[in-house]
Copies of this chain bind each other. A is one copy, B any other.
Amino acid sequence: MKKTLLESAAAGVITESVKKIASAEGMTPQELNRLIAAGRAVVPVNRIKKLTQPCAIGEGLSVKVNANLGTSPAKYDNRLELNKLKAAVDFGADTVMDLSIGPGLKKTREIILNNSPIPIGTVPIYEAATRAEKKHGSFLKMTAADLIQVITEQAREGVDFFTLHCGVTRKSLRVMETHPRLMGIVSRGGAIMANWIRTNKTENPLFTEFAQILEIMKTYDVTLSLGDGLRPGALADATDRAQLAELRLLGKLAEQARRSGVQVMIEGPGHVPLNQIAKNVQLQKKYCANAPFYVLGPLVCDSGAGYDHITAAIGAGVAAAAGADYLCFVTPSEHLSLPDLEDIKQGVIASRIAARAGDIARGRSRSWELERRFSQARKDRDWESQLSLSLDPKLFTEYRNRTGKPAGTKDVCSMCDKFCSIKLMDNLEDTA
């Protein structure tokens, strides 16, 4: 069988994508290979594809951002999903996950896969559960074979990474039940699996059939993202026994995946008080032998509905500074409705800010250089350069145009007029 990227990195083979990514990250291909071989970085690209914008996620690399899209039974419009993909890419997402559960989700995925320059992830249990609903009238009648069938099909189609909730097991559920929570399970995949386990009195097939699933993923070189089905959904549940029991298990499964030649990363919370975030990152790195850490938020308040891109950006910034490698965006509509195009944009930008804050805190020289260029343009009142470096040039221009003069006009600003500190300091330098 052809080598996976993990195996070829270990063997010192420099692939084209490793070369390209290493250059973009400012490191040598050898350095990137060492990180991949050690399981400290992953490059999620399905073997059957060539992505125009691949990326690496993990230690020593810039912090990456994922955007979610996907249909629901209440809203399924493939053109909208395609536009969401475009918006996510345009505003700087590094990867996209298609979380569709609406009718025709296979077609939706096909469109996303065919049009994405960046890696695409999925949660195969969604399709398996949806099919079981249709075929047997209930997702509870889904079988292990159904799940493996979906995983095989999606791998063949070219999905680059899978979220699999292998850590929701009878044992970890017992921990949750003996240490009750405010919110219980808030992961959609986790809740599906927990219901399935309890109803069928059968262990999680993603856990029992893990070796077989790894073989399928290896064949297509799909990267594994170990889902945190028991992530806390409220501040009060953060860093509890169930969360940590699952995390320890994910660490063991990650080790097994790496041994099988499958790249692996670990998903993390969720809702976490700001002062517990660094500890969460440290525990993940410790339990999972420094596998890349992919966090959802974390949200530092439960009460931010409508503004959860901000509650999440605060947590994500702190997590990234502490060593989290990959941020799943959270949109303003989180907890309230399916995101629309504007939500996707807001979510990606907020996450990119958090990622940048993390890169800066971790001393990444390219990020410092970008910030320095922006500040130099600000100091020079060079509005054109600021515009070209800004997160959202259209919005930048709208704000600038409030002055009533074109956005690039050097000395117009509606704020301070002659008391502009920058102009004042320029005058002082001129006279000195």
Residues of chain A at the chain B interface (Cβ within 8 Å):
72-75, 101, 126, 129, 133, 139, 182-188, 190-192, 194-195, 198-199, 233-236, 271, 273-275, 300-307, 309-311, 313-315, 317-318, 321, 332-333, 335-338, 340, 349-350, 353-354, 356-358, 360-362, 368, 370-372, 374-376, 378-379, 386, 389-392, 395-396, 399-400, 402-404, 413-422, 424-425, 427-429, 431-432
Are A337 and B303 in contact (CB-based, < 8 A)?
no
Are B357 and A314 in contact (CB-based, < 8 A)?
yes
A389 to B301, alpha carbons, bound, how many Å?
Answer: 13
Query: Which of B187, B304, B358, B419 is A126 in contact with, Cβ under 8 Å?
Result: B419
A29 to B313, alpha carbons, bound, how many Å?
Answer: 37
On chain B, the residues within 8 Å of A333 by CB distance are: 399, 402
A296 to B322, alpha carbons, bound, how many Å?
Answer: 23
Are B371 and A234 in contact (CB-based, < 8 A)?
yes
Query: Which of B317, B360, B392, B432 is A307 in contact with, Cβ under 8 Å?
Result: B392
A362 to B318, alpha carbons, bound, how many Å?
Answer: 16
On chain B, the residues within 8 Å of A360 by CB distance are: 235, 273-274, 300-301
Query: Which of B199, B307, B361 is A349 in contact with, Cβ under 8 Å?
Result: B307
On chain B, the residues within 8 Å of A335 by CB distance are: 378
Majority-rule SS of A interface residues: helix
Are B417 and A74 in contact (CB-based, < 8 A)?
yes
Contact A195 to B427, CB < 8 A, known contacts A300-B360, A391-B307: yes
Contact A302 to B191, CB < 8 A, known contacts A333-B399, A428-B198: no
Number of copies: 2
Query: Which of B129, B306, B362, B413 is A396 in contact with, Cβ under 8 Å?
Result: B306
Contact A357 to B302, CB < 8 A, known contacts A307-B392, A421-B185: no
Contact A101 to B235, CB < 8 A, known contacts A371-B302, A400-B336, A425-B191: no
On chain B, the residues within 8 Å of A271 by CB distance are: 375
14 chain-A/chain-B pairs, Cβ below 8 angstroms: A101-B416, A182-B376, A184-B421, A185-B424, A190-B421, A274-B318, A274-B321, A303-B374, A305-B391, A307-B349, A307-B392, A314-B317, A332-B395, A338-B414
Query: Which of B74, B315, B418 is A133 in contact with, Cβ under 8 Å?
Result: B418
Are B300 and A317 in contact (CB-based, < 8 A)?
yes
A379 to B335, alpha carbons, bound, how many Å?
Answer: 11
A179 to B403, alpha carbons, bound, how many Å?
Answer: 35
Closest 3 CB pairs of A and B: A191-B421, A336-B399, A234-B375
On chain B, the residues within 8 Å of A311 by CB distance are: 353, 357
Distance (whole angstroms) from the CB of A52 to the closest CB of chain B: 25
Interface centre among A236, A374, A429 (most CB of B within 10 A): A374
A414 to B184, alpha carbons, bound, how many Å?
Answer: 21
Contact A399 to B337, CB < 8 A, known contacts A74-B417, A372-B236, A390-B303: yes
Are B74 and A403 in contact (CB-based, < 8 A)?
yes
A418 to B233, alpha carbons, bound, how many Å?
Answer: 19
13 new A-B contacts at CB < 8 Å, known A310-B313, A337-B403 = A73-B418, A191-B421, A195-B424, A198-B432, A234-B378, A235-B360, A236-B375, A302-B378, A303-B374, A304-B353, A307-B392, A311-B357, A340-B402
